[in-house]
Amino acid sequence: MITIYWERIMKAKTFAGIITSFLLVLSFFVIFTMPRYQHYFRRNNYKQKHKEDTHKTNITTNNPQSAESLCKLAIQYYRKKKFHKALQYFKQASDLLPNDVDILCNVAQILFYETFDIPETIRVCEKIISLDKKNRIAYEFLSNCYLRVGNFEGGNHARRILDGNRVWPKVWDGSDVQGKTIVIDDNIGIGDLFCWIRYGKMFKDQGAKKVIVYAKKVLVPLLSLCPYIDELIIRGQKIPYYDFKIGTGQLHHRINKTINDIYKYGLETPYLYADKALTEQWAKKLTQDSNFKIGICWSAKQKAERDFKYRPIPLKHFYPISKFDGVSLYSLQQKNNHGLNQLNNLPQDFNLTLFDETFDKKNGSFMDTAAVMKNVNLIITVDTSIAHLAGALGVKVWLLLPHVSDWRWFLDRTDSPWYPTMRIFRQKKLGDWDGVMQDVMIALKEIKQTRI
């Protein structure tokens, strides 16, 4: 598209033609580089937008206590990662303009992502909604906050508003599935599918005639091992007749009304399975290693959502474990994720076994990973698909969480209601991976003592 615009400029015969072509190029960059949630920390148009408010309250940009000046100060502190200072100035700006939704959204963002103050985030978001009943940012934060504290009713209500209370033809609404055909649409991330596909088994146990999964092509080999899935259809292909359909992202919100429903409907593991032949092959290879074998994953695929930037742990933090007597580390880091470049900067005595390029390619995505997981003693991973796969397989897994984490891990818990074999290690403050790994080392020493 850029080439086409350039050709137009070169062929332009008049000054007007050049100007027109320039505007076309400019429009391209404006449209395709527009950031998500652009109102965050964008106060460049503040003076124009709040012209009337500024006039009425005698606030000027020359006044250090003006709302605009305070927002600019907040942004400066935010960029320096001084989040409490940034929050302080945004709150002062909000005091001057208490009905400014953009400023309140900035306050909510810092409270949610940086200081992780859940009660205050809820209070601010409820105020935003009182001013703007269609504000998606507030409902997003509110849903996550309520779900984190186990208030599924409030979280699911906010989620339904985010979804716009849309009604699709034949969407499953919680109705009886006895004798019915239901399609589960794999419409979100791989880790999410590994978590929520458990409800395919629930549908089958409840008497569904057929459970169809509309799946990503790369996951078909792994999902084909699930006995409760009657048919797999690759996304993009035509779906045959069905009675109900629901996306994986909506399953939890339809099924779990309270936290106790997790134990009622979806606790049993395993509900994902490793290929038996591959498991035996890897058993023969790995039995040569008599050490305590740990599979590790240190990085997650980067996405637009803010909490994803906190999930990866620098690989160097695993160095003390690699030197732990009687322990062998195996990399389960997915090849399409970030983090592999860190392998080039490791100490020479960092003991980490890497698999060759055929791993998870020759036999299909996650097929070798699942088989290896069944043959090692422990998985240690950040919050990514590897964590959900290990939990779904029913193998022992330790999850390393940042201070700000996904709602599914709730608050302050060291266990997970989703996965009985999971243990959680959390940052006590933002960015403190040293503290997390110290706790992991203590736990490993306890295991070593029990094995003696």
What CATH number should be reported for the domain holding residue 221?
3.40.50
- DSSP H helices in 313-405: 319-322, 367-373, 385-393
- Position 280 in a domain: yes
- Residue 432 pLDDT more than 60? yes
Pair (143, 291) in one structural domain? no
Say what the pLDDT of residue 118 is. 94
| 353, part of any domain | yes
Q: How confident is the model at residue 65 (pLDDT cuts 50, 70, 90)?
A: low
Query: Mean pLDDT over residues 316-331, rounded?
Result: 95
Does residue 123 belong to any structural domain of this protein? yes
Residues 338 and 446 in one domain: yes
Same domain as 286, residue 229: no
Let me know: does 258 contact 152? Beta carbons within 8 Å. Answer: yes
Q: What is the DSSP letter of 208?
A: B
- Predicted pLDDT at 48: 32
The answer to whether 260 and 183 are in contact (CB under 8 A) is: no
pLDDT at 145: 96
172 belongs to a structural domain? no
Residue with tokens 């890497």: 354
- Which one of 240, 265, 290 terminates a domain? 265
Residues 423 and 329 both lie in one domain: yes
Burial class (CB in 10 A: 0-12, 13-18, 19+), 52: exposed
Q: Tell whether 118 and 219 lie within a shared domain.
A: no
Q: Do 316 and 429 share a structural domain?
A: yes
Q: Please classify residue 286 by burial: count the beta carbons closer than 10 Å to its beta carbon, then call 0-12 exposed, 13-18 middle and 19+ buried.
A: middle
| Per-residue model confidence as pLDDT tens digits over 331-342 | 999 876 677 888
- Asked whether residue 324 is assigned to any structural domain, the reply reads yes
Domain containing residue 288: CATH number: 3.40.50.2000
Q: Is residue 436 part of a domain?
A: yes
Same domain, 201 and 246: yes
> Is the bond leading into 347 cis (omega within 30 degrees of zero)?
no
**Statement to judge: residues 127 and 232 lie in one domain:** no
Structural domain of 136: 46-153
Which of 220, 241, 265 is the last residue in one of the domains?
265
Pick from 330, 387, 336: nearest CA to 360? 336
In a domain, 169, yes or no: no
* Mean pLDDT within 218-242: 96
Q: Please give the pLDDT value at position 20.
A: 52
Rounded distance between C-alpha atoms, residue 405 and residue 311, angstroms? 8
Instruction: Please state, in angstroms and rounded to a whole number, the distance separating the CA atoms of residues 184 and 213.
Output: 5
Judgement on whether residues 361 and 397 belong to the same structural domain of the protein: yes
Task: Give the end of a domain, one of 236, 265, 294.
Answer: 265
DSSP state of 178: B
309 and 421 inside one domain: yes
Q: Are residues 324 and 429 in the same domain?
A: yes
Surface-to-core class of residue 409, CB atoms within 10 Å of its CB (0-12 exposed, 13-18 middle, 19+ buried): buried
* pTM (two decimals): 0.83
Q: Look up residue 431 and give its two tokens.
A: 């960015």
Does 159 fall in a domain? Answer: no
How confident is the model over 282-311, as pLDDT tens digits?
999 999 999 999 999 999 876 645 556 789
Q: Which residue from 82, 105, 78, 83 is spatially nearest to 94, judged by alpha carbons?
A: 105
The CATH number given to whatever domain includes residue 120 is 1.25.40.10
The number of folded domains in the chain is 4
Output the six-digit token pair for 397. 């897994």
Both 334 and 397 in a single domain?
yes
